[in-house]
Amino acid sequence: MTTDDVQAQYEAYPYPERKPTDERKRLITGSPSLPVEMDHWLWGGARDWSVPLRALVAGGGTGDALIQLAQMLSDAGRPYDITYLDMSVASRGIAEKRAAVRRLGGITFVTGSLLGARDYGPFDYIDCCGVLHHLPDPQAGFDALAGALAPDGGMGLMVYAPHGRSGVYPLQAAFGQLFQGLEPRKRLKRAKTIFAALPEAHPLKRNLRVVDHQQGDAGFYDLLLHSSDVPFSITNLMGALDAAGLEFSGTPQPMLYDPDPLVGEMAEMDAVTRMQLAENLRGTFKTHVIYARPKGEVIAPPFGQPEAVPHLRDVSGAQLAQHVAETGRITVDTAGEAFVFEVRRAAASAIVLVDGRRSLAQIDAASGLEGFEQVWSQIEAALCASGMMHYSRLLV
C-alpha cells in the first residue's frame, strides 16, 4: 500500500458518493460535528457562539461534515471560519459544488494531507471522520491533529471498529492479493464479479449492518478494495488519544459503552476496560465516534445546572412529552438493541418546554413540576445517555 494507491482510489471514486444538486432537498446530518453536541461534550454546554468558530475538517472527502457544520451554524446565525482539507482533487470538487449550491461562505478549500494540519491552525474544533484508520501511520495523524488544536479546542473523531464489520477484512485481504497492480476501475469490475459468486453464508452477506457495498461503486470500493484499513478497538483508540496528548471527553450514545444492562453487577474496573467489555459483548460497533480535548482540559456536561440550556435531537418536545405522558417511559432502539428508561409521566410537562432557548431554571419555573430536580435527573439519564438531548447555548 502507498499513499498514491489511496489517492488514486479517491480520484476515481470520491467518497461518500454525493450529487451536489441534492443539497437543494436535504441536509445529511450525523455525529460528530453537530454544534450542540460539540458544545455538550467539549465546552460544558457554555461556549460563547458569538465568537467565530475556527474549525478544520480534516480529510473532508465529498463534504458531509463540512456542509453539516457550515449549514447548521449559518441557520443559527453564528459566525465561523472553516478550513476543508483533503488530498483528493475530485472529492474537493464535489464538496465545493455542494457548498456553492447552498451558498455557504466562510470556507477555505485546501488540497493536501492532514499531516500538515498544524500549518493552518490553531483550530477551536477539528472534525476527522473515516480517515485516521486509512493512514499508513495512524498515530502520526492523531499527533498532527493534536498539534493543530487550540488550547481550549476539541475534536470530533470517527474511526472504524472491528466487530461490526464482520466479513470485511478477509475480503479486503483477498482482493488485495488478487488485484495488486490493477488500476481502480479494473479492480472494481473484477471484485464485483467475485463478490456475486461468494456463498450466501459469507459473513459479510449475512452482516445486515454493513451496507456500503450496496450503495454505489464508491461505497463498494471504499469498503472492500481499500488498500489501507486498520480498525480500532475502543482500547486502541484511547491509547492513540493518550499518545497524542489528548483525552476522551464523550461519545454521542454513552449507553452503548455501558455493559451493566447486559451483565448486571460487576467487580470494579476502570472506565476503558468497561467500555471494551461493552464493545466485545455487543459486537455491533461498526465505528467509534468520540469527542476529545487536550489532556487535563476535559469539561463535564452541565447536568442539572440551572443555567444549562437543553436541546432535543431528532424528536420534538411535544411528541416526546406525549409519549412519556402515555407510557411513563422513554424507549430507544439503536444498533438492534432496545433500551427502556422509566420516567415519571409528570416529566412530560418539562419535556414539552425544551426548545433550545429555555434554561433548566426557566423550564422548572414554567413546568409547575413538583420535585423537578429528581424528575429531571431521570430525563437526563435517558436522553443524554441515548444522544437525544444535549446542552448548548447555541441559540441563546
Q: Are residues 49 and 125 in the same domain?
A: yes
Give the pLDDT mean for 27-52.
Answer: 98
| Within a domain: 85 | yes
Q: Are residues 50 and 91 in the same domain?
A: yes
Domain end point (choices 294, 329, 350): 294
Q: Which pLDDT does position 337 carry in this prediction? A: 85
Q: Are residues 35 and 136 in the same domain?
A: yes
Please count the structural domains in the chain: 2
| Within a domain: 176 | no
Domain end point (choices 294, 324, 346): 294
Question: How many whole angstroms from its chain centre is CA 259?
Answer: 21
Are the C-beta atoms of residues 226 and 172 closer than 8 Å to each other? Answer: yes
Q: Are residues 241 and 351 in the same domain?
A: no
Provide the grid cell at 261. Answer: 444492562
Q: Which pLDDT does position 5 carry in this prediction? A: 82
For the stretch 318-350, what's the b/e string if a residue is b when 16 or more beta carbons lie within 10 angstroms of its beta carbon? eebbebbbeeeebebeeeeeebebebbebbbbb
Question: Confidence class of residue 108 from pLDDT cuts 50, 70 and 90?
Answer: very high
Q: Are strands 80-86 and 107-111 parallel, antiparallel or unpaired?
A: parallel
What does the radius of gyration of the chain's CA atoms come to, in whole angstroms? 22
| Within a domain: 196 | no
Strand partners, 340: 331
Q: Are residues 157 and 238 in the same domain?
A: yes
How far apart CA 84 and CA 94 sit, in angstroms, is 12
Question: How many whole angstroms from its chain centre is CA 312?
Answer: 17
Give the pLDDT mean for 258-276.
Answer: 91
Q: Are residues 363 and 323 in the same domain?
A: yes
Q: Are residues 353 and 384 in the same domain?
A: yes
Exposed/middle/buried for 4, CB within 10 Å: 0-12, 13-18, 19+? exposed
Q: Are residues 141 and 30 in the same domain?
A: yes
Q: Which pLDDT does position 95 carry in this prediction? A: 98
Q: Which pLDDT does position 2 carry in this prediction? A: 54
Question: Confidence class of residue 1 from pLDDT cuts 50, 70 and 90?
Answer: very low
Query: In this model, does residue 206 exceed pLDDT 50?
Result: yes
Give the pLDDT mean for 16-21.
Answer: 96
The tens digit of pLDDT for each residue in 207-231 reads 988 999 999 999 999 999 999 999 9
User: What mean pLDDT, rounded, does the chain reach?
Assistant: 95
Provide the grid cell at 65. Answer: 461534515
| Within a domain: 23 | yes
Question: How many whole angstroms from its chain centre is CA 391?
Answer: 17
| Within a domain: 287 | yes
SS3 per-residue string spanning the chain: CCHHHHHHHHHHCCCCCCCHHHHHCCCCCCCCCCHHHHHHHHCCCCCCCCCCEEEEEECCCCCHHHHHHHHHHHHCCCCEEEEEEECCHHHHHHHHHHHHHHCCCCEEEEECCHHHHHHHCCEEEEEEECCHHHCCCHHHHHHHHHHCEEEEEEEEEEEECCHHHCCHHHHHHHHHHHCCCCCHHHHHHHHHHHHHHCCCCCCCCCCCCCCHHHCCHHHHHHHHCCCCCCCCCHHHHHHHHHHCCEEEEECCCHHHHCCHHHHCCCCCCCHHHHHHHHHHHHCCCCEEEEEEEECCCCCCCCCCCCCCCEEECCCCHHHHHHHHHHHCEEEEEECCEEEEEECCHHHHHHHCCCCCCCCHHHHHHHHCCCCHHHHHHHHHHHHCCCCCEEECCCCC
CATH number of residue 280's parent domain:
3.40.50.150
Q: Are residues 42 and 110 in the same domain?
A: yes
Q: The domain containing residue 234 runs over which residues?
A: 3-163+229-294
Q: Are residues 149 and 274 in the same domain?
A: yes
Query: In this model, does residue 4 exceed pLDDT 80?
Result: no
Residue with cell 409528570: 346
The tens digit of pLDDT for each residue in 326-369 reads 999 999 888 778 899 999 999 999 999 999 999 999 999 999 99
| Within a domain: 82 | yes
Q: Are residues 372 and 258 in the same domain?
A: no
The tens digit of pLDDT for each residue in 114-148 reads 999 999 999 999 999 999 999 999 999 999 999 99
Are the C-beta atoms of residues 290 and 244 closer than 8 Å to each other? Answer: no
| Within a domain: 217 | no
Q: Which pLDDT does position 266 carry in this prediction? A: 78
Question: Confidence class of residue 202 from pLDDT cuts 50, 70 and 90?
Answer: very high
| Within a domain: 356 | yes
Q: Are residues 115 and 23 in the same domain?
A: yes
